[in-house]
Structure 1
């Protein structure tokens, strides 16, 4: 059974002019795309099957990321259903020279594991082993609980 740490991924994208809006900052759609791509990789690592996006939870953009800075996205599976995989994602602005980071957005995506015909398939149980796994899962569950209260 896969554990949370095995699904943890982090990637960086340098914001180029073609990623920017008219204000010289990253277009929110690019951040969302990058989160979706990395989230799918975490889901597939967990499920051992292709995974497709089923839903995206609330996504608030707290600060812009200017052209030339880096978007750092971290992704990990924190919960599962019969064929669904819940992935927590967090994006940050990173200054490429200093490494200084500021959180820009956070969300949770649900992916569904599918077979070669596109039909949902069962996913394994998620295990939570060790302090790092518990910390990540607690952070994801706290975010979900806080957003459920706001609805």
Structure 2
């Protein structure tokens, strides 16, 4: 069974002018797309199956990501149902030169594992085998409960 840390993925996108709105910061739709793509990859790593987006919880944009910074997206699986996979998503702006980061958006998303005919298929149970994995999982469960 995959562990929480085995599903942890982070990726960076350099924010270019073609990603920006008229204010010179990343268009929110781009951030949502990057979050959803990384969330699906984390869910697929966990399930060992193709996963499709079932729900993206409320996404609050806290601050912009300006052109020239990177969008840092983190995703990891923290819970699972019979065929569903819950993924914690966090976005941040990162100054690539200094490494300074600042939280910009977050979400709790649900993906469903499907077979080649797009029928839901069972997923494994979530496990943790490290303190860090357990902290990530518990933090996500606690955060979800507060929503």
Short-chain TM bin = over 0.9
Aligned-residue offset at 1:145: 1.4
Q: How do residues 77-88 of structure 1 correspond to structure 2 at under 5 angstroms?
A: 77-88=77-88
Partner of 2:111: 111
What does residue 14 of structure 1 align with?
A: 14
Deviation at 1:121, TM superposition (A): 0.3
Q: Distance in 2 between matches of 1:38 and 1:133?
A: 18
- Per-residue displacement from partner, 1:31-76 (whole Å, max 9, x unpaired)? 0000000000000000000000000111000000100100001100
Q: For residues 69 and 124 of structure 1, what CA distance do their matches in structure 2 show? A: 37
What SS class does the counterpart of residue 103 from structure 1 fall into?
A: strand
- How many residues align? The count is 147
Structure 2, unaligned runs of 5 or more: none
In 2, the alpha carbon distance for the partners of 1:25 and 1:145 equals 31
Name the Cα RMSD after superposition: 0.6
For the residues of structure 2 that align with 1:73 and 1:14, how far apart are their CA atoms?
Answer: 11
Gaps of 5+ in 1: none
Mapped partners of 1:142, 1:125: distance in 2: 18
Task: Name the CA distance, whole Å, in 2 between partners of 1:97 and 1:124.
Answer: 40
1:80-128 deviation per Cα after TM superposition (whole angstroms, max 9, x unaligned): 0000000001000001111100000110110000000000000011112
Distance in 1, Cα, partners of 2:115 & 2:70: 35
Q: Distance in 2 between matches of 1:2 and 1:78?
A: 11
Which sits farther off after the overlay, 125-134 or 85-94? 125-134
Runs of 4+ off more than 2 Å: none
SS at 2:21 equivalent: coil
**Residue correspondence of structure 1 range 27-106 to structure 2 within 5 A:** 27-106=27-106
The normalised TM-score by structure 2 is 0.98
